[in-house]
């Protein structure tokens, strides 16, 4: 995903709390908090997917299976490559970033 230099200048200060707030504002739901082998993370699920409680299988209803894990970085911002991967996994466009007030 190619963003202009102006967009990256605004995104480079984005930290995990800003990203989590934007996900919740966009309708994503926190699936679980857990400590894995690589540390603590929060897993967000798009509301178009749901988990069958009996089989624990994710069912896809309206959109592609979208799930993203956010690893808190203690107030530090993300690097450009990691942030690019997260934005692509979430599926946000530049218009979405403006709508969520992550950029002007």
One pLDDT digit (tens) per residue for the chain, 104 residues = 578 899 988 998 888 889 989 999 988 888 776 666 666 778 888 876 555 556 655 555 455 567 888 877 766 788 888 888 889 888 888 999 999 999 98
Whose tokens are 């089989």? That residue is 55
Question: Do the Cβ atoms of 87 and 18 come closer than 8 Å?
Answer: no
- Give strand pairing partners of 66: none
Residue 78: the pLDDT is: 83
pTM of the model: 0.74
Q: Cα 82 to chain center, whole Å?
A: 11
Residue 97: the pLDDT is: 93
Residue 89: the pLDDT is: 86
Residue 99: the pLDDT is: 92
What is the domain partition of the chain in residue ranges?
26-99
CA pair distance 82, 80, nearest whole angstrom:
6
Rounded (10°) CA dihedral 70, 37, 33, 21: -10
Whose tokens are 């690589």? That residue is 38
């Amino acid at each position: 995903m190619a963003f202009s230099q102006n967009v990256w200048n605004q995104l480079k200060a984005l930290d995990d709390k800003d990203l989590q707030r934007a996900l919740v504002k966009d309708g994503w739901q926190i699936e679980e908090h857990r400590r894995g082998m690589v540390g603590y993370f929060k897993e967000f699920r798009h509301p178009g997917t749901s988990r069958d409680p009996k089989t624990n299988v994710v069912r896809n209803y309206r959109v592609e299976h979208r799930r993203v894990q956010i690893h808190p970085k203690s107030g530090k911002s993300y690097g450009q490559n990691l942030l690019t991967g997260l934005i692509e996994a979430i599926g946000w466009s530049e218009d979405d970033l403006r709508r969520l007030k992550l950029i002007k």
